[in-house]
């Protein structure tokens, strides 16, 4: 009986490992790639087209909106998954009427930037540093700020630690760590059984691509001394729950301010409360 029970346990373990491995591989591939029809091009006339090259050689493309006055501040805008720079048209207009310039890139694997894969910050932080180099050369003397949404806010926070070129950053609907947000997303599909699938996806990403997704963690950076941060999060966000922002804020209350938007959904603060959004964001940048 004991031998039979042992065999059953081993068989069950093999099944769990196999299922989590296969499921993890599928999850990983779905998380890192977009279908071509999910990569919209920017609208005609949306700023001045700009192109640079990433460290791994892929072309990165953006729209440039120079500041009204030479040396005035510039905000780099980072979008979320399955979005592109075209989603920032309203925020660009808000920044311009307040005298700010803006650079709105398409993240790698999105829009008309190159690459068919994205990494939630592992490579994008390096891309962002190259965009900062470009802005500093193109608009000498400008103070540099950042505003990100969803994945873009997570990337921005990962770039906000010691040595950053930003004076301050605004992050709407950020994730605290990729591990946490992956658990939430997979949990919406499989419930409490999410852990083996997420672990399988992380192992698969490490073995196939060399990605260590445990390092995709805004929480690690915001816990350190650094620049001021404004976190914005809707109370009803089911895509990335508001608990992510609360975890981030608790890690370093000395440098983090929070605006919780009552009834807000995922990255909709500028639409739900446009006057307050503009007032808070512009005041935060000007104070820093």
Domain boundary among 188, 215, 242: 215
Confidence (pLDDT) at 10: 35
**Three-class secondary structure of residue 5 per DSSP:** helix
| Residue 40 forms part of a structural domain | no
d(CA 87, CA 267): 11
Q: Are residues 209 and 109 both part of a single domain?
A: no
Q: Are residues 191 and 256 both part of a single domain?
A: no
Confidence (pLDDT) at 29: 85
Which of 21-35, 88-102, 109-123, 255-269 bottoms out in mean pLDDT, i.e. has the lowest?
21-35
Statement: residue 157 has pLDDT above 80: yes
- Look at residues 100, 114, 102 and name the one whose alpha carbon lies nearest to residue 52: 114
Q: Are residues 66 and 128 both part of a single domain?
A: yes
Asked whether the beta carbons of 140 and 71 are under 8 A apart, the reply is yes
pLDDT band with cut points at 50, 70 and 90 for residue 186: confident
Confidence (pLDDT) at 180: 93
SS3 sequence of 6-64 = HHHHHHHHHHHHHHHHHHHHHHHHHHHCCCHHHCCCCCCCCCEEEEEECCCCCEEEEEE
Domain boundary among 189, 215, 241: 215
| Residue 70 forms part of a structural domain | yes
Statement: residue 40 has pLDDT above 60: yes
Q: Are residues 120 and 242 both part of a single domain?
A: yes
Confidence (pLDDT) at 191: 66
Provide the residue range defining the domain that includes 257. Answer: 46-177+217-287
Statement: residue 26 has pLDDT above 70: no
| Residue 238 forms part of a structural domain | yes
Q: What percent of the chain has pLDDT over 90?
A: 75
Confidence (pLDDT) at 15: 33
Question: Residue 221, by phi and psi: left (phi above 0), alpha (psi -120 to 50) or beta?
Answer: alpha
Q: Are residues 103 and 137 both part of a single domain?
A: yes
Sheet strand arrangement including 256-261: 48-53, 59-65, 101-105, 74-78, 144-149, 168-172, 229-234, 256-261
Q: Are residues 121 and 143 both part of a single domain?
A: yes
pLDDT digits (tens, 9 = 90+) for 107-134: 999 999 999 999 999 999 999 999 999 9
Confidence (pLDDT) at 192: 65
Domain count, the chain: 2
pLDDT digits (tens, 9 = 90+) for 208-253: 999 999 999 999 999 999 999 999 999 999 999 999 999 999 999 9
pTM of the entire structure?
A: 0.90
| Kind and range of the H or E run holding 78 | strand 74-78
Q: Are residues 70 and 202 both part of a single domain?
A: no
**Three-class secondary structure of residue 152 per DSSP:** helix
Statement: residue 11 has pLDDT above 80: no
Q: Give the CATH number, domain containing residue 65.
A: 3.40.50.1820
Q: Are residues 24 and 135 both part of a single domain?
A: no
Q: Are residues 61 and 124 both part of a single domain?
A: yes
Q: Are residues 2 and 102 both part of a single domain?
A: no
Confidence (pLDDT) at 195: 84
What is the Cα 73 distance to its own chain's centre? Answer: 22
Q: What percent of the chain has pLDDT over 70?
A: 88
pLDDT digits (tens, 9 = 90+) for 71-97: 999 999 999 999 999 999 999 999 999
| Residue 37 forms part of a structural domain | no
Q: Are residues 148 and 187 both part of a single domain?
A: no
Mean pLDDT of 194-211: 88
Confidence (pLDDT) at 28: 65
| Residue 39 forms part of a structural domain | no
Task: Tell me the pLDDT of the chain averaged across its residues.
Answer: 89
Confidence (pLDDT) at 238: 95
| Residue 267 forms part of a structural domain | yes
Mean pLDDT of 260-282: 97
């Amino acid at each position: 009986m004991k031998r039979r029970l042992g065999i059953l346990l081993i068989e069950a373990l093999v099944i769990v490992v196999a299922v989590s491995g296969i499921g993890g591989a599928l999850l990983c591939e779905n998380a890192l790639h977009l279908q071509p029809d999910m990569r919209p091009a920017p609208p005609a006339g949306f700023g001045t087209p700009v192109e640079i090259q990433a460290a791994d050689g892929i072309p990165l493309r953006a729209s440039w909106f120079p500041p009204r006055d030479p040396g005035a501040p510039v905000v780099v805008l980072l979008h979320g998954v399955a979005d592109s720079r075209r989603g920032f048209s309203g925020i660009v207009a808000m920044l311009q009427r307040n005298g700010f310039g803006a650079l709105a890139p398409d993240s790698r694997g999105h829009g008309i930037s190159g690459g068919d894969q994205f990494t939630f910050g592992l490579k994008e932080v390096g891309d962002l540093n190259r965009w900062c180099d470009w802005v500093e050369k193109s608009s000498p003397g400008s103070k540099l700020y950042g505003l990100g949404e969803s994945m873009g806010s997570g990337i921005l926070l990962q770039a906000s630690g010691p040595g950053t070129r930003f004076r301050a950053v605004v992050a709407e609907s950020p994730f605290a760590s990729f591990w946490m947000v992956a658990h939430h997303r997979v949990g919406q599909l499989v419930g409490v059984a999410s852990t083996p699938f997420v672990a399988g996806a992380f192992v698969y990403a490490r073995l196939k691509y060399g990605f260590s997704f445990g390092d995709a963690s805004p929480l690690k950076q915001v816990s350190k001394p650094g620049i001021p941060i404004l976190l914005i999060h809707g109370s009803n966000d089911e895509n990335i729950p508001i608990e992510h922002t609360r975890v981030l804020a608790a890690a370093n209350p000395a440098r983090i301010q929070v605006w919780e938007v009552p009834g807000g959904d995922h990255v909709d603060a500028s639409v739900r409360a446009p006057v307050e959004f503009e007032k808070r964001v512009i005041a935060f940048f000007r104070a820093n």
